[in-house]
Amino acid sequence: MSMSKVRKQIYIEEWQDARLAELSAKSGMSEAEVIRQALDAYLLALDELPSQHPLSFLAAIGSSDKGSFGGSDHDDILYNR
């Protein structure tokens, strides 16, 4: 899925910058990608990812009118089993 990107300039604390550099080096991802993934995780936790985002379906796991759907069926949901 290709979503267009928008340039943002932000200010972070020095300790955040050092930690971001560490995470980037360990993961092999750019610092921008680490920030995008952290923002995705935050928005997913708030249930506010755009519907076209690949992770947006996770926000609905556990909510259903079918009782406890999600808690015991997570593999079926995640892996389309």
Task: Give per-residue pLDDT as tens, 9-25.
Answer: 999 999 999 999 999 99
pLDDT in tens, 14-57: 999 999 999 999 999 999 999 999 988 887 777 766 666 666 66
Residue 3 falls inside a structural domain: no
Same domain for 68 and 41: no
**Structural domain boundaries enclosing 39:** 10-46
Same domain for 35 and 60: no
Judge whether residue 78 has pLDDT over 60: yes
Residue 16 falls inside a structural domain: yes
Number of domains in the chain: 2
Residue with more model confidence, 28 or 60: 28
Burial 42-73 (b: 16+ CB within 10 A, else e): ebeeeeebeeeeeebeebeeeeeeeeebeeee
The structure's pTM equals 0.57
Residue 4 falls inside a structural domain: no
